[in-house]
Structure 1
Amino acid sequence: MNVFAVSPSVNAETAELDAVLERTVTAVKAAGALLRERHDVGARPGDLDEVVRAIHANDEAVLALIKQPLLTARPGSRWAEDELASGLLPAGEWWVVDTAEGNINHIHGMGEWGVTATLVRDNAPLLTVVHLPLTGDTYTAVQGGGALLNGESLRTSAKTDLRAALVGTGQAKPGEDEEALRRMGASVTAMLINALVVRVSVPATMQLIHVAAGHMDAFWQFSDVRSGLLPGALLVSEAGGTVTDTRGEPWTLASSDFLASAPGLHNRTVEVLSELG
């Protein structure tokens, strides 16, 4: 179920968006190359101050490289400054970018990180690019044009039995509301009872690309951090998956939580999550 309606005006500008996508891929790959140069498998930050400094250093370095090329790729677009922000954006076109998605993994010498860029119009994603510098993989989607990995089509899982499902969730950011964290813990327990295996990891995008590719079957998060959800929302939707909130209502940037799943598992996943209240 594609929850993002494709209007005739969007269909009419497919070629234009494809050109923007090409420029976006170039910019995101360049940013990824820089982030790869900054990656140290031996990194072991020693305290919170060191962690914060390393995170900010990565963000600042990549931002200086990627911001202007993306704004130039789409004249008239604006930049969403706070990558941890939530909620609706003003009308118009905006770039929602995570300069180091999985930054906490990067600065600890681990491998689950990348760079993402999503162009949003009137709060609906038009196109997205997710690049993983360590593998060279690039995930792309344009609204109404399908989801791709390195140019090959993606398709979500065909599973229909939650008892056979690999599902996942994770923390959106440090300092989340305690109620949301308790709800997350309860949801993990509920899924451990009802699903086959549960992954709890960060960042969200690294799980959502697996849902889009059919390697995982569902991902949920009790958060509305837009930069962590928009890329995966478009990829999963364009790969034939279902994207809603945890109660099964259409997901938007105004939603307080998020669920992306294989279509055959969606109803049962909503049932389990809805029981949490």
Structure 2
Amino acid sequence: MDMDEQYPNNIVGSKSFTAVAINCAAKAGEWIKTKAGTVTQLDTKYSMHDLVTEVDKGSERMIRNLIATHFPSHSFLGEEGVGPGPEASAKAIERVSDAEYVWIVDPVDGTTNYVHGFPFFSVSIALAHRGQVIVGVIYDPMRDELFVAERGKGAYVHGRKMKVSPELTLAQSLVATGFPADHRAALPANLKGIQAIAPQVRNLRISGSAALHLAYVAAGRLSGFWEIGLSAWDIAAGALLVEESGGHLSDTEGKPYHLGVRNIVATNGHIHDELVVALGQAGAAG
């Protein structure tokens, strides 16, 4: 993958944050791909649906070490360095909330897919400056698709500028969601949402990687995405991709996105209010 050919100079500078994020995502993604089908140790974290493998841990170590080489003073928030469950996630965000620069990393988003050989998983890397995401990179190693956004400079895939889809109503829309690992609160709320939204949209997709779903909203392949009970590492990079592609993000009640948001709605903008209202009416806002 030749980054200089794929991405314009305003996105990749020789020592820029974005270049490091791209390099980390590409290296980790290629390594993950070589390990596919070799997973021997499978552990659960928060529930039987919340899997972690030695590949998740190895990918995170690789990314953390690469970033530390370039930016030793920056903070790091990776999924595998945080305990299971929503409380641990909230505390982790709080711990880095005062950091000037913090890298927010999901080393394998879609571990269950990865374990089963279902080719829909990604590496997600974001950099936040004083709580605002300024770089977002999501890499899908199976399709060799690299989604890159830099605040104020647009979002790109295959070096082409991305733009959200044109659908104006839910009835015309292809929308994605997920099945959360938290069975007590998040999963029942999301199932309520699925029951309410499925009849109102053209169709629904549940593909198992929140980061890639967000990248697909940015690329215009999905009209929207919502999910209850996500964490910062699931959302941060994708949030900037959506924003820089002309889309809209909020929590499920329509309030502005920030790193602590766990219940997310991301759309092309046109269908945003309709989706938020429909989730609210169904009691599915979490």
Residues 138, 46 of structure 1: CA spacing in aligned structure 2 closer, same or farther, 3 A cutoff? closer
- 2:107 matches 1:99: yes
Cα displacement (A) at 1:147: 0.7
| Unaligned 5+ runs, structure 1 | 1-12
Select the residue among 73, 97, 108 that pairs with 1:90. Answer: 97
1:186 aligns with 2:192: yes
Q: CA RMSD in A?
A: 2.8
Q: Which one of the candidate residues 265, 273, 277 is aligned to 1:271? A: 277
Q: Which residue in 1 is equivalent to 2:231?
A: 225
* Partner SS state of residue 130, structure 1: strand
Instruction: Give the conservation status (yes or no) of the 8 Å contact 2:126–2:236.
Output: yes
SS at the partner of 2:116?
coil
CA distance, structure 1, for counterparts of residue 151 and residue 14 of structure 2:
9
TM-score, scaled relative to structure 2 = 0.82
1:116 to 120, 124, 143: 124
Aligned residue in 1 for 2:34: 37
The structure whose RCO (Cα within 8 Å, separation 6+) is larger is 1
Aligned in 2, Cα 1:47/1:256: closer, same or farther, shift over 3 Å?
closer
| Matched residue, 1:72 | 69
Farther-moved stretch of structure 1 (76-85 vs 97-106): 76-85
Report the Cα offset of residue 75 of structure 1.
4.3
C-alpha distance in 2 between matches for 1:194 and 1:235? 26
1:260 is paired with a residue whose SS is: strand
CA distance in 1, matches of 2:187, 2:123: 26
Unaligned runs of 5+ in 2: 1-9, 83-88
Deviations 1:81-117 (A, max 9, x none): 4456244432121111111111111111121112111
> Structure 1 residue aligned with 2:217, among 207, 211, 222?
211
Q: TM-score, normalised by structure 1?
A: 0.85
**Matches of 1:103 and 1:112, distance apart in 2:** 9
Give the direction of change, closer, same or farther, for the CA distance of 1:56–1:138 in structure 2 (3 Å limit).
same
2:23 matches 1:21: no
**In the aligned structure 2, how far is the partner of 1:18 from the partner of 1:261?**
33
Query: How far apart in 2 are the matches of 1:43 and 1:56?
Result: 7
1:168 aligns to 2:176 (yes or no): yes
Runs in 1 of length 4+ with deviation above 4 angstroms? 13-18, 42-49
> Aligned pairs, how many?
261
